[in-house]
Chain A
Amino acid sequence: MRRLLTGNGAAAWGARLAEVDYIPAFPITPQTEIIERLAEWVDRGELNGRLVTLDSEHSMITAAGAAAATGARVFTATSSQGLLYGMEMLYTVSGWRAPFVLANVSRGLASPLTLEPDHNDVLAARDSGFIQLHAATCQEVLDLTLLAYRIAEDRRVRLPVLVNLDGFYLSFTREPVELPEPEQVRRVLPPFEPSTLRFRASAPVSQAVAVLGGGPYSYFRYEMHLAATQALVAFQQAAEDFAQVFGRSYASVERYRCDDAQYAFVMMGSFATKAKEAVDRLRDEGEAVGLVRPRMVRPWPEEELRAALSGMRGVAVIDQNLSTGKGGVLHSELCSALYGQPDAPPVLTSFIGGLGGRDIDAAELFEILRVTKRAVETGERPPPRLLYTEHELKEMRKLQAIAAVEHPAEEEATP
């Protein structure tokens, strides 16, 4: 059945089709629609589970982890400030090895305060122990949510999974989504089998206890890391089963028109669909360019990325995040995967764009390719670029005039 669904609606349907037992919730823009829909279904008896609004995301993620550690299938969702408010518990519950799914509707972080998307929130959770999947369409939001349960509950993994969708661009955009039948979903996603991961009167257990010394601590942290790397295999196997039932196949890294490409854009999330359009237009003009998009960010699919980019002349990484004082996170992650590899592209240019919902238009992508080609030809690596148009600066100057700013910061910095 095809339905017009927002990204938020698709996430809610993912949880409903996974037949979750428990949904700890807390409202935050632009995620709220997810919990409103789930609450409605629970109230109407269409979803046989319990939804509880906690006092904060910190409590929400705690309750999610505790319920998963008790043996329930759990879904929760948040965004931006909420994800960071719960940050202590992201690390904590992944250490419990509590398998559940968290949808993050990404949104830029304060300050300044904004409601619109970028990836600094979700990348702040990069090292938390959560597996990370990034969706680019509403269909992917639903499908990746279902696949996320397979990964989380896989005995080799047993870690929480974060499914990311961009605020506004996906959360509030309606797209036709193929809605699977519950019986089909059960074929791909059997009920959660908690095994020993549970609290029961007849089998007392202590979970999440303290350790003394670096030996036991390192052991458990290494164990988590090794389990996370198993998520690559778990994802691949789940995706194969999924493709057999639904005919839609997902790899940890998406390649678009890459077969004979000399150049590639590398991007995450929904903005990559803009790059696809730019690739089509550049291809029309004879440019050998493609797009590479990691769907999985943790574990980092290094082998797949190396294979996708092997032999290319230049790669332009467009980061929708900014690690202040360094640059794009995706760029440095990709460098670490490619450094010293035979056939690695010699040039990796870096561009920051799309912060706080700022658009990246086709003209900018054309320019990005020109800069990258020039770097390959001259052998001179350009510094990271912060995308900003003259028009934007003019509009900003108007706001500054109203705010009575006499000396813009960048003018003070350049004598």
Chain B
Amino acid sequence: MRPEGQRDDKPIRKLKQLPARHIMASGTPMCAGCGGLEAINEAYDVLGENTIFVNAAGCMTLLSIYPYTPFRGSWLYTAMAAAPAGAQGVRDALDVLAAKGKLDRDEDLEVVVLTGDGSAYGMGLSATSGALERDLDFLYICYDNEGYGNTGHQYSGATPHAARTATSRGEHGFGGYKKDLFSIWAAHRPAYVATALAAEPLDLAKKVQKAKQLKGPRLILALSPCPTGWDFEPRDALEMGRLAVETGVWPLKEYVDGVVTHTKVPKTRLPVERYLGRQGRFRHLFEPERDTGQLDEIQARVDAYWDAIER
């Protein structure tokens, strides 16, 4: 039901096509070096202002604090578990009002759910799965900083193995493994699923543009390096993202029509410790003694993933 005009933008092929200035206003209360905010900035440039962000409790909830907003479009805060259901209500209302002649086509909006990993991987999964099974026409942007960031970075369903968080401070860090949200989405056979991150702006912009041109449920899952939660210097945020890609820890991929395609395959993968060693949350793997067992396990899991892809 969205206006067709939004769908035939010029295809993005080169970095040069990306705008020099973001359309979202600066001066938000996000932490310095926030990888999530930068991903949203890049995505918003492509999405444009005819959007309504439907938000769940998380860091980005603080973007819109009365009476300020950095967005040129609309915003609706819901609750931690409820953003996809809020998107359903807005989308359905716009469609019904249009069908009854109470809404002009050019007044229509792209409905965008915006949540962190706490909601996307956990509390919001029931509402998300429901929206997927109903083939809701919406875009979901998840900024994945791998923990409950806004409350001080406790572990979540998105926290990687061995990471120290505010609730996994023990010798070995977090005992669990990061949930595969990409596959959970893909199992519902939606229109589009993609991983991305701010450090690869061209890849991200292409994916957001592709998602924008499709109809149905679409996910942009953006790894969001988090200086405060992961314990690194804010100036290293983009570097951290690049290392996540180059070590193979964060595969860049997309799902369309039942097929998963990797959009950037590192020719030679850097060892994972190049990525882990830069973050305080993994320092216990290196100091006071090197935890070879854990490091080897993490490397083996990354290698096994890529072996299966390349086979």
The chain B residue sitting closest to A95, CB to CB, is: B77
For residue B143, CB closer than 8 A to chain A, the reply is no
Contact of A59 among B52, B65, B88, B94 (CB under 8 A): B88
Whether the Cβ atoms of B76 and A59 lie closer than 8 Å is no
Q: How far does the alpha carbon of A56 sit from the alpha carbon of B84 in the complex, in Å?
A: 12
Residue from the set A24, A52, A209, A212 with the largest chain B CB neighbour count within 10 Å: A209
Whether the Cβ atoms of A67 and B89 lie closer than 8 Å is yes
Contact of B93 among A71, A96, A201 (CB under 8 A): A71
Q: How far does the alpha carbon of A211 sit from the alpha carbon of B88 in the complex, in Å?
A: 25
User: Given known contacts A54-B88, A59-B130, A199-B52, is B76 in contact with A204 (CB within 8 Å)?
Assistant: no
Whether the Cβ atoms of A59 and B90 lie closer than 8 Å is no
User: Given known contacts A50-B92, A63-B92, A92-B79, is B72 in contact with A58 (CB within 8 Å)?
Assistant: no
For residue B34, CB closer than 8 A to chain A, the reply is no
Chain B 89-111 against A: per-residue CB contact (8 Å), 1 yes, 0 no?
A: 11011111100101100111100
Contact of B106 among A62, A201, A209, A216 (CB under 8 A): A201
How many A residues, CB 8 Å from partner?
A: 43
Question: Which residues on the A side are within 8 Å of B109 (C-beta)?
Answer: 199-201
Q: How far does the alpha carbon of A56 sit from the alpha carbon of B127 in the complex, in Å?
A: 8
Q: Least Cβ distance of A69 to chain B in Å?
A: 7
Contact of B108 among A21, A54, A67, A201 (CB under 8 A): A201
Q: Least Cβ distance of B305 to chain A in Å?
A: 31
In chain A, residues 134-191, which have Cβ atoms closer than 8 Å to a Cβ of chain B? none
Q: How far does the alpha carbon of A367 sit from the alpha carbon of B119 in the complex, in Å?
A: 55
Question: Which residues on the A side are within 8 Å of B275 (C-beta)?
Answer: none
Whether the Cβ atoms of A58 and B85 lie closer than 8 Å is yes
Q: How far does the alpha carbon of A234 sit from the alpha carbon of B258 in the complex, in Å?
A: 55
Question: Which residues on the B side are within 8 Å of A52 (C-beta)?
Answer: 88, 92, 134
Q: Least Cβ distance of A82 to chain B in Å?
A: 14
Q: How far does the alpha carbon of A55 sit from the alpha carbon of B133 in the complex, in Å?
A: 10
Whether the Cβ atoms of A63 and B97 lie closer than 8 Å is no
The chain B residue sitting closest to A212, CB to CB, is: B65
For residue B237, CB closer than 8 A to chain A, the reply is no
Contact of A24 among B73, B78, B89 (CB under 8 A): B89
Whether the Cβ atoms of A210 and B61 lie closer than 8 Å is yes
Q: How far does the alpha carbon of A56 sit from the alpha carbon of B243 in the complex, in Å?
A: 40
Question: Which residues on the B side are within 8 Å of A74 (C-beta)?
Answer: 93
For residue A64, CB closer than 8 A to chain B, the reply is yes
Question: Which residues on the A side are within 8 Å of B86 (C-beta)?
Answer: 62-63, 65-66
Whether the Cβ atoms of B90 and A70 lie closer than 8 Å is yes
For residue A202, CB closer than 8 A to chain B, the reply is yes
Question: Which residues on the B side are within 8 Å of A55 (C-beta)?
Answer: 85, 126-127, 129-130
Whether the Cβ atoms of A54 and B85 lie closer than 8 Å is yes
Whether the Cβ atoms of A70 and B82 lie closer than 8 Å is no
Chain B 199-234 against A: per-residue CB contact (8 Å), 1 yes, 0 no?
A: 000000000000000000000000000000000000
Q: Least Cβ distance of A195 to chain B in Å?
A: 13
Question: Which residues on the A side are within 8 Å of B75 (C-beta)?
Answer: 205-207, 209
Q: How far does the alpha carbon of A58 sit from the alpha carbon of B72 in the complex, in Å?
A: 29
Contact of A65 among B66, B71, B89, B108 (CB under 8 A): B89
Question: Which residues on the B side are within 8 Å of A212 (C-beta)?
Answer: 65-66
Q: How far does the alpha carbon of A199 sit from the alpha carbon of B89 in the complex, in Å?
A: 12
The chain A residue sitting closest to B136, CB to CB, is: A52
For residue B62, CB closer than 8 A to chain A, the reply is yes
For residue B168, CB closer than 8 A to chain A, the reply is no
Contact of A66 among B73, B89, B102, B130 (CB under 8 A): B89
For residue B50, CB closer than 8 A to chain A, the reply is yes
Chain B interface residues (CB < 8 Å from chain A): 49-50, 52, 54, 61-62, 64-66, 69, 71-79, 81-82, 84-90, 92-97, 100, 102-103, 106-109, 126-127, 129-130, 134
Can you spell out 9 A-B residue pairs with CB atoms less than 8 angstroms apart? Answer: A48-B100, A50-B92, A56-B127, A64-B89, A69-B89, A199-B52, A206-B64, A206-B69, A206-B74
Closest 7 A-B residue pairs measured CB to CB? Answer: A66-B89, A55-B130, A59-B85, A63-B89, A70-B93, A67-B93, A72-B93
Apart from A71-B93, A204-B49, A212-B66: 12 A-B pairs, beta carbons within 8 A: A52-B134, A54-B85, A55-B126, A70-B89, A72-B96, A74-B93, A89-B78, A199-B109, A200-B109, A201-B106, A205-B75, A212-B65
